[in-house]
Structures are given as C-alpha cells and as structure tokens.
Structure 1
Amino acid sequence: MLIDTTLREGAQLFGAYFKMETREAILSGLLRLGVDEVEVGWVGQEGIDELVRRIRPRAGRTRLSVWSPCRSADIRTASELGVDRINIGIPVSDAHMSKRLGLDRKGLLEKLGRMVLSAGLAGIRYISIGFEDVSRADRDFALDAALLAQSMGASRIRLADSLGVLSPREMGGLVEFFRSQLTIPVAVHCHNDFGMATANAVSALQSGADFADVSVLGIGERSGIAATEELAAYLAVRGGASKYHAEHLRDLCSLVAGAAGVDIPRTKAVAGADIFACESGLHAHALSKSPELFEPYDPSLIGANRKLAVGGKSGKAAVSVALGSARSHYPAGQIEDLVTSVRRMSWELGRPLTQDEFSHLADSARKH
C-alpha cells in the first residue's frame, strides 16, 4: 500500500545529499516501519547497486524498486540491479510530450509499448508505469496509454499529480476512472504544492488505489509529496493497518531531517515535538481526566509522550492538577494566588513554566 520514495523523490530535495551510510540507515528505518515497497533510487545513481546488495538480505516482505526513465538502455541497466520492481516514468500530458520528448500522442504510445516490451524481455517481472503530469493530461488518452501498457504486460499504473494541482475530490475521481477500466493495480504520486498531498493520497486509497507514494517528512521536489509519517500513522491508527509499526516513525523523521537539513516544526503532524503538549486550562484539566477527549490517539502509538505544563493560559483546575497530591496542602486562596503568580511569570518569560519554576512558585505560595 505504501511506496516510500525518500531515496528517490526525497533525494531530489534542493540541497539534500545522502551518503551511502545515510541511505542504508534510512532504508533500515523504513524496513522497521514495515512499508510495502521502497524505491531505493534511480537508474544511474551512484552506489545504487551496492545499496541494493547491502539491504537485500534484510528486506523481508518489503519489495525493492528502482525508478527509470523510459529508455531501453536504462531499463536494461535496471534489470541487472537485483530489485523486485522497476518504475518507468513517462509523461502523458500534451505539453510534456511535445516539449520534453518531441512526440505526439501516437509517437508516445509507440514508445510506451516498446519500453514495456523491452522491460519484459529484460526479465523484469514487475513493471510499473508512472504517468507523469496525468492530472493535466487528456484523461481518455491517458487511459488508452494505460490500457496499452496493461496489454503489453505492465504490472501497475502509477498516476502522478506532478504539480500538486488536484483536490482530494478530484484525485478520488481520477483514481475511480482508471480503477474502473484496469485490471492491474493503480498507484498514485501526490505532490504537495497546495498542501493537499497527504489528503490526496488518503482520498486515492479510499477511492480504490492500491498504492500511494510517500516520502519521510514529505521531502522532494519543490514542496514535496505525501508524508510517510502522516499516511503511515493514519493507516495504522485510523485504518487498523497493523503491518505498519508507527512507533518507529519519529526516530525515522529525526534521521531524515538531520540528513536532509530540514527543520521539523514543533507542531508538525506526527513528527513535531509539541503535538501532545498542552497548557490551556480547559484542555489540560480534561486531559488529566480522560486523554481521548482532546487527543486523536495515544501518543505512545507513534513513540511520543504527552507534555503538560502550566502557564499564562492556565486556570485553577490546571494548576491543581499540576500540584498533584500536594494540592490538599493548599487552601483555596493560596491556589488562586498561585494561579496569579504562574500567569504573571509565564507572560514575563513568554513561555510555559518548567517543572522547577512551577515547584519554586508553589513552595513560595505555600509558605505565605
């Protein structure tokens, strides 16, 4: 269901350079997570043959694939890498066909047929054809191309919203259109130019897609693609996909962030440091009674921890919770004074209080 392409699409991030040891570490993290397929890189990438040799003994049920341009020589090279699948990219929009390849529709279909045949003759048993810019292509022509690829022996069609222009509803409709006409699996590759990538990937899967491309932290060209951690967490927590071990996601995100030179916003879904942090009085009080009231899932499911603090937004209930068993030693008036002191100090510091700062204020309130 999940095709992780951090080492192909993610490696195209501006300024990202993954050394061999880093690539192997990322691959190991993806295997621990349990993704269905890893696109380990592209044909001609330095060291890709060595990387496949290193990781092959540990791949288990995870399939290894490689991306290739739609060229016979590259397809033959891919066949010698020892991967399970090849992902051949070819544009299907008129603009890309004419301006990039110098082909009309007939010429592209001829080229596509030859390349699928070439891959089969090279001994590649699983041939995935990626339709680049399909979201701006003539849909009927793209379907003709998909049906041709299927008839020639292709194993999967991958639909790429290359510029991230589709909405979740439009993506769902696109998938349903192809799914209704094809007998082979359908995959999607959703870019994030309008912040729709993960939502589009979810919509695609719910509309019948068999696979969705993802990248850790969503890194890739421009604003990237659907995020591995977001989709894996959603499928594991909300979809009951027990094959994904979401508890490894945050460590994997930290690894990729360091390697790619990308900062993780503290409120970033799944990966952020403060996604289970709370200082709001109402929410903090409710969390102390029943966490599911204000948390979508148990933090431990993704290897995170809950963090509660008092500060300028805290009230009497939240401060009482923070006092714990010691609150019985404080008369009501002292707790109200403590709330005032907490709020004042927090606003002066411009942040919630640390445990030591709160303890100091609490001790002072009790003595007075």
Structure 2
Amino acid sequence: MYIEKVKNEMNLPETVRIFDTTLRDGEQTPGVAITVDEKIRIAKRLDELGVNVIEAGFPAASTGEKEAAREILKLGLDAQLCGLARVLREDIDAAIDSGIDYIHTFVGTSPLHREYKLKMNKEDILSKAVDAVEYIKDHGIVAEFSAEDATRTEFEYLKEIYKAVENAGADYINVPDTVGVMVPTSMKWLIQNLNKHLNVPISVHCHDDFGLAVANSLVSVEAGASQVHATVNGLGERAGNASLEEVVMSLITEYGIKMNLKTETLVNLSEFVARITGVKIPPNKAIVGENAFAHEAGIHVHGVLAKAETYEPITPEIVGHRRRIVLGKHTGAKAIKSKLDEYGIELTTEQFNKVYDQVKALGDKGKCVTDADLKALAESVLGRAKEEIVKLEGFSVMTGNIVMPTATVKLNIDGEIKTAAKTGVGPVDAAINAIQSVVGETADIELQEYNIEAITGGTNALAEVFVIMGDKEGNRATGRSTTEDIVMASVEAVLDAINKILIIR
C-alpha cells in the first residue's frame, strides 16, 4: 500500500537477476560440507526454481570443487554456471579448466584487507583486478568483479577500481557487504552513487551479521542494482547471507518486480537444502518456516478463516507452503470448530464444549495440540457413555522402587460413595484393580483388552487408551480416553466402558 507512494522515488530495474551462491558461500557455513552428488541435486532444484546464476563453488580450492562444476555443467541447466576465483591466474585457469562460462573474481580493497591480508598498495590491487578481468574476457567468459569488503573501502578508491574493471570488460560489478556492516540508508547511498559512475549492471552480496542482509539487498535494488546474490535459507559464513526466499518474495510481492521464477518450489527447495546441510530451518523463519503461515490466537484465526489476507501477506500456496491452524491456550472456538469440520467430525454443543475445555486446559500446561491430538480428543468424547452411573470422585497412586505400586479410588455409584485401595505391577494396573474391586460389588465386570498409544512424540504427548470390558452375561463395551496423563486416561477409559455395560444391563 504505502510502497506505491514512494516507488516513483526509486530507481527500480524492470527485473532482477538472482545469483545463487548456496553451493559456494552457503557451503562455507561452519560445519557444512556438500558432496559433489549433493551439489548436483541442489543445482537441479535451483534451476527448477529459475535462478539466473548458480555459483557452483571455488574450482581452485580442490579437485572436488572442479569436478562438481564439471558435473553440474553436464546437466545442461538453463541457469548460468559460475565459479569463484581470486584475481590470480592459477585460480582463473582452474575455473576455465572446469568448463564454466562465468567467472566471479574478487580481491580485497579496504584498508584492513590491503594492510593486514594482502599487504599490497592500492595501485597493485587495481592492476591485478584489471589484469584478472582482461584475462577472463580474453577467454570469452562472462566476468563479474567483486571488491571484497567494498563497504569498508574509501568511496573514491572503490569508484576508481570499479571503473577500471568496467573499462577492462567486466560484465557485472558486484558490491559485497562482506562483514554485514551496512545499514539500509548507507547501502542505498553507496549503490546510488556508484550507479552514477558505472554503466554495467550492479550486483550486491550482503551478509547478515546484523540481521540486515535482506534489507540491504532490497534497498540496493531500489537504488538501481539489478542482480542480488543470495543463498537458500540464508546460509553462509558467520550469520549467513541474504535469504533467497525472502529476497525473491519481497521483490515480487512488495516491489512488483517481474521475475520468471517458480516460487511454488521455494518451500520444497528450502527443506531439501536443510536436509542436505543439516542446518535446520527455524520455525519462525520468514516464508519457509513451519510457523510462517501458522495461526493460534483466536482473533487471528477468526480473521484468517473469514479472509486469509487479514493476517497473511501472501497465500501459502504461492511458495509451496500450507496454512496451519495451531491449537493451544490462545485458540478460539471458531478455530477448533473449523478443524473439526475439516475432519468431518460432528459434535453436540455439550461434546464440543468438553473438547474445547480440554484444548484450553492442555494449552495452559504449555502443550501445543496437534491435529492428531484434536482428532483423538474428539473421538474420545464422541465415544463416551451417554450416562454416568459410576462417577470418579477422586483417585491417587503411589509408586516407586521402594513401595509396590498402589492406587486408591473413590467412586460414586448411583449416589453411594465407595473407596478401595489395590496394588498392581504398575500404577495403571493398580488403578484398574482398585476400580474393578469397587464395581465388583455391583456388577462383575472385568478388563478383557487394554491398548495405549502416544498420539504425538515427546514426554508430554497425549496418551490415547482403548479398553474392552466384559461381564459374565456376555455384555462387552469399549472405552476410550485421551489425556496427557496415562494413568488418568486409563481410569477414564475403564469407567467409560463400565458405564456402557451398566446402561445396557
């Protein structure tokens, strides 16, 4: 909405090229190593998305890096395949030898790099940069030049070296914020002013040390940059690079820039790269995180169910995601009703209220109620006896490695309070024995089958208990209960079955 008011102040390009460096800078994520075969598989998915350039690696670094570039080249992808090289002939020769037709060459230009890393003066660095670009172009290869640590380089020198490599034939000028020190205002100023002096397309490569890589990339586009370096899931050195999925969706949906990308493959690509690298996607990760389109708060859920745009900037399907209604203590009745309708479960008002109260109670205990949990709770309530002849007034269990498991139960049977204490091989067995001893005075009902299942993983998973009880007359009934307490679930399931038998006797 408001972006339309300021678009005329921007120098937006018609389209933006995506230079993906997941296989190079992304692999430099601490602890990540991607094999040749894995690089091939990721490259295929990047090409399916439709990125313009895939930086396959650093061919001079190892035999494996060179082999990866060659193997990816054999795939005949639509994306251009790029290799990284320092401004050294041996690096460039290694990239040329791998067969690629796009070389990204770089050299440090900031005072820090000149003095401590390279131990070279400005003139020598400029000379090497020009020589490298000319050498690449002499071989008929696309050349992209980066002034490493550009954002800590004196502007006049940066402008001078960029103009020199442009004159040498560079096809793209890349501006790396190597250690992520820029803020959007200064990044925009830098690109605007470089753009006044350069005639070739400007590219940007932003790092996320202060969490500003995406923002800095976007303002660079506002200032006229027409290519953005990015990585899937924001992988990369230290805090990583600009997140490809965030950059892409911001450019398309917020700026209205046309890009020939299959955005519906983004979530699949993100999850695939996460599995390959072992770097998990945070649940709250924008665009692709598990919670990116998840809603719990009652007000939000109500709004989303009425019209998705009330609390979603884009539809989840655009990026290959799905909407999730999460149930917990903030959940409203409409969300639970919507979920039950989705499952085709119809409840009476009384039954629904029981399920609603259970969801709220579980939420207050810090439990997130999953779809499977809700189904089990609803099915448990649906299957309950319509009348309670035997009601639980209270029970307690004592167990451990010193005392034999003992359970005490207090039951209300047709208005008469009865209690019993029994032992068992465990707390569940003891509780069931105590119930059967009390009920046995009224009817001889015994446990015939007992099953328990954890609905979801974790120590706080809901336990679903299913039992079959029977009497000597051949009457049988099932009982079911779902709760986070195994003993309580067992007690409720047994009493449910007992009540059903007593009703039909």
TM-score, normalised on structure 1?
0.92
Question: For the structure 1 residues 366 and 171, does the alpha-carbon distance in structure 2 shift closer, same or farther, using more than 3 Å as the test?
Answer: farther
4+ residue segments displaced more than 6 Å = 325-328
1:363 aligns with 2:382: yes
1:341 aligns with 2:358: yes
Deviations 1:94-136 (A, max 9, x none): 1201222111112222222222222233x14311111111111
Deviations 1:250-269 (A, max 9, x none): 22222221222211111111
Counterpart amino acid of 1:214? A
| Range with bigger deviation, 106-115 or 84-93 | 106-115
- Give 1:244-283 correspondences, 5 Å limit: 244-283=261-300
Match of 2:310 in 1: 293
1:330 aligns with 2:373: no
CA contact (8 A) 2:209 2:239 kept: yes
TM-score, normalised on structure 2?
0.68
User: Structure 1: 5+ residue runs without aligned partners?
Assistant: none
Q: Distance in 2 between matches of 1:149 and 1:89?
A: 11
Deviations 1:60-95 (A, max 9, x none): 431111100111222223223221211111111112
CA drift at 1:317:
3.1
Counterpart amino acid of 1:18? I
Counterpart amino acid of 1:145? I
Counterpart amino acid of 2:36? M
Q: Distance in 2 between matches of 1:112 and 1:240?
A: 33
CA drift at 1:358:
4.0
Match of 2:72 among 47, 55, 59: 55
Question: For the structure 1 residues 154 and 268, does the alpha-carbon distance in structure 2 shift closer, same or farther, using more than 3 Å as the test?
Answer: same
Q: Distance in 2 between matches of 1:316 and 1:109?
A: 67
Match of 2:172 among 156, 163, 186: 156
Deviations 1:139-160 (A, max 9, x none): 1110001111111111111111
Match of 2:248 in 1: 232
Which is higher, the Rg of structure 1 or of structure 2?
Answer: 2
Deviations 1:313-362 (A, max 9, x none): 1233333333439898634x765554333211332362124232442465
Match of 2:158 among 99, 120, 142: 142
Match of 1:34 in 2: 50
Q: Distance in 1 between matches of 2:317 and 2:360?
A: 30
- Percentage of pairs with the same residue: 27
Q: Distance in 2 between matches of 1:193 and 1:328?
A: 52
User: Structure 2: 5+ residue runs without aligned partners?
Assistant: 1-16, 388-505
Cα RMSD (Å): 2.3
CA contact (8 A) 2:136 2:142 kept: no
Deviations 1:179-216 (A, max 9, x none): 11100111111000000111111111121101111111
1:209 aligns with 2:228: no
CA contact (8 A) 1:281 1:315 kept: yes
Match of 1:119 among 136, 144, 147: 136
Question: For the structure 1 residues 309 and 13, does the alpha-carbon distance in structure 2 shift closer, same or farther, using more than 3 Å as the test?
Answer: closer
Question: For the structure 1 residues 43 and 341, does the alpha-carbon distance in structure 2 shift closer, same or farther, using more than 3 Å as the test?
Answer: closer
Aligned length: 366
Q: Secondary structure at the match of 1:131?
A: strand
CA contact (8 A) 1:40 1:66 kept: yes
CA drift at 1:218:
1.1
More helix by share: 1
Match of 1:9 among 20, 25, 35: 25
